Chain A
């Protein structure tokens, strides 16, 4: 299991890991700040009684955060297994 990565493999492994990190960080930034910037306009739209701007801050972004955490765990596990460096 504990095969040591060559410097090239390490670079490629960390490249993929970093790319995943930046992707999710960008999504995090969008759902934490960008979408709420438009809350006053989004509130004009109503779904099941919820003004959309309010809904995004009360539930929408939270669901997105949850999805991001589960996706990150899954995607990073896939990268670990591709390089044979998973610790399980």
Chain B
């Protein structure tokens, strides 16, 4: 019996295959634990983790190599709902979710929960508005849908532009994540680390396209969720005696609230919509809701997520698959606030007020030059021991005060294993998990970009006569080129670009959300309306994004008719906040404009042809053929 990846034997035995894989991985972790116990230095353990996990992904990639168009673009439409859910989970959860989110919650408290809500609620929209209909439509890419629904290449081209803008912004952030983790654990130079990470990404996607990415993502999900849950469980057991972090951090919140009063922290961790002084702030509330809105609609518009639902065997499984996706994402997201609460409790309870010479070992480990994630900035020369202390003035009384303690967002997840007293083997596991999260998302995004270029631009618009072999070669060459450009950009931009992720959501939502929803749910909407809707939404979003970010003072003087505009120092620039709204939520301008323009043009111009309306009826019903229409001809 052969178990060729993607073959029917493989599909029928998925449970057994991935159970064996998980067992082997657990054995591997135990082995590294034994090596650590025998005294092997941690740098070598770090190399073992990173190269062995990338090796496994590469092996799956090689085993999944394919010469078939349908396997390359949509994994042969054979991925069962449950496993597609896992793959979507890995595709979705990026370095920002895995490493950054708990840190944002540590600093933002309630305010940070906008990310938890925004990055989950969008799946409800995917489930009810889009996934089943896109699966029935049954082509290869999201721009395929725009091309078919809105009559040809104008809509297709616009969709490709939006897709590339959003996905490229997002993929750069992922490669930064890969670079940061690799640099940190292997002591490699950051720019070089970006290109090492790039190899990790390419080995899985280049040979097997979507098929390879799918089965690698399932493997990556298993590693990332194990790596995320173990430290939180141990931390919960250490602090509360019960190993269920998601249930027990309520008690940590209660203790934090008491300690906040003693330590004089005005902005309570769990307090909703308060400013730095602890007062109720309407601006904080509107920012919270604006961000949730943009992240949710962005979720339902990001092509690398939507295209995962092209890979299920049926419409019914596409719907089930959305629910499973959210389930697997939920497992991580409802644990993140526990990380933040436990870390904060540990800091407030056991760290602040400790004599500097009695600080726990993890402060020195994570604070040393080269990592610089934590700092105890009491003495005047603290910056020599802890680079993060630069510019902080301590009172040199030999005791750590709250305002003398510095911690970087990334340290919350990375340092928790050591705070909980776990050996290095678990710290390495967390790094491998973070790497899996960043690699899997980067894979999905690169594939979305390369597919749009090779399928939509090259095959559909430049050379429709191209044969299979040529199409796949073009696709792989483009994947390589885009990947190298992204890695180069990531290397140049450096670390602080997580705001790019939020922009990607706003761009995707402004450009694609209205076109997708109205295309399916408003049958009479004509071609011109769709084209104008996408163009207007995207242009509005990009205008406000560029203007507020790079021309803040100009926005303040020239656009004062819009109402209150503030200038805020961010990323070394004067950024304009219109109505006090942070420009990471710039989609609140683009999304309504897209709907409004598409609706007005739709009412004024010619409605969809009878053929088009029959086509829409045919994608609304799961059974039966999809009516063929210009741009949606059989592949």
A→B interface (CB under 8 Å): 1-5, 10, 13-14, 17-18, 20-21, 24-25, 28, 31-33, 36-37, 39-40, 43, 46-51, 53-55, 57-59, 61-63, 65-66, 68-70, 72-73, 76-77, 80, 84-88
Q: Which residues of B contact A53 (CB under 8 A)?
A: 110, 270, 272
Q: How far is B617's CA from A20's CA once the two chains are assembled, in angstroms? A: 17
Q: Which residues of A contact B121 (CB under 8 A)?
A: 28, 31-32, 61, 65
Query: Nearest chain-A residue to B337 (Cβ)?
Result: A58
Stretch at the interface among B64-72, B315-323, B359-367, B476-484: B315-323
Query: Nearest chain-A residue to B257 (Cβ)?
Result: A51
Pairwise interchain contact B124-A69, C-beta atoms closer than 8 A: yes
Pairwise interchain contact A24-B319, C-beta atoms closer than 8 A: no
- 8 A-B residue pairs with CB within 8 Å: A28-B128, A32-B292, A39-B273, A49-B249, A62-B116, A66-B327, A80-B622, A87-B314
Q: How far is B282's CA from A25's CA once the two chains are assembled, in angstroms? A: 26
Q: How far is B107's CA from A62's CA once the two chains are assembled, in angstroms? A: 21
Those of B309-343 within 8 Å (CB) of chain A: 314-317, 319-320, 322-323, 326-327, 330, 333-334, 337
* Contact A57:B250 (CB < 8 A) given known A28-B124, A51-B270, A73-B319: no
Total of A-B residue pairs, C-beta within 8 Å: 151
How many whole Å from A61's CB to the nearest CB in chain B? 6
How many whole Å from B240's CB to the nearest CB in chain A? 10
Pairwise interchain contact A87-B128, C-beta atoms closer than 8 A: no
Pairwise interchain contact A43-B271, C-beta atoms closer than 8 A: yes
Q: For chain B, what secondary structure do more than half of its interface residues adopt (helix, strand, loop), or is it mixed? A: helix
Of A3, A4, A24, A36, the most chain B CB neighbours within 10 A belong to: A36
Pairwise interchain contact B327-A85, C-beta atoms closer than 8 A: no
- Tell me if B625 is interfacial: C-beta within 8 Å of chain A: yes
* Contact A24:B124 (CB < 8 A) given known A2-B623, A2-B624, A87-B316: yes
* Contact A3:B128 (CB < 8 A) given known A62-B117, A77-B316: no
- Tell me if B129 is interfacial: C-beta within 8 Å of chain A: yes
Q: Which residues of A contact B252 (CB under 8 A)?
A: 49
Q: Which residues of B contact A43 (CB under 8 A)?
A: 270-272
Q: Which residues of B contact A86 (CB under 8 A)?
A: 316, 622-623
- Tell me if B78 is interfacial: C-beta within 8 Å of chain A: no
Pairwise interchain contact B272-A58, C-beta atoms closer than 8 A: no
Q: Which residues of B contact A28 (CB under 8 A)?
A: 121, 124-125, 128
Of A3, A4, A59, the most chain B CB neighbours within 10 A belong to: A59
Q: Which residues of A contact B116 (CB under 8 A)?
A: 57-58, 62
Pairwise interchain contact B132-A46, C-beta atoms closer than 8 A: no
- Tell me if B22 is interfacial: C-beta within 8 Å of chain A: no
Q: How far is B288's CA from A53's CA once the two chains are assembled, in angstroms? A: 14
Query: Nearest chain-B residue to A31 (Cβ)?
Result: B121
Q: Which residues of B contact A63 (CB under 8 A)?
A: 330
- Tell me if B621 is interfacial: C-beta within 8 Å of chain A: yes
- Tell me if B247 is interfacial: C-beta within 8 Å of chain A: yes
Q: How far is B132's CA from A18's CA once the two chains are assembled, in angstroms? A: 14
Q: How far is B296's CA from A73's CA once the two chains are assembled, in angstroms? A: 19
Pairwise interchain contact A65-B316, C-beta atoms closer than 8 A: no
Query: Nearest chain-B residue to A28 (Cβ)?
Result: B124
Pairwise interchain contact B289-A33, C-beta atoms closer than 8 A: yes
Checking A10, A13, A31, A54 against B253 with a beta-carbon cut-off of 8 angstroms, the contacting residue is: A54
* Contact A49:B316 (CB < 8 A) given known A32-B292, A72-B127, A85-B624: no
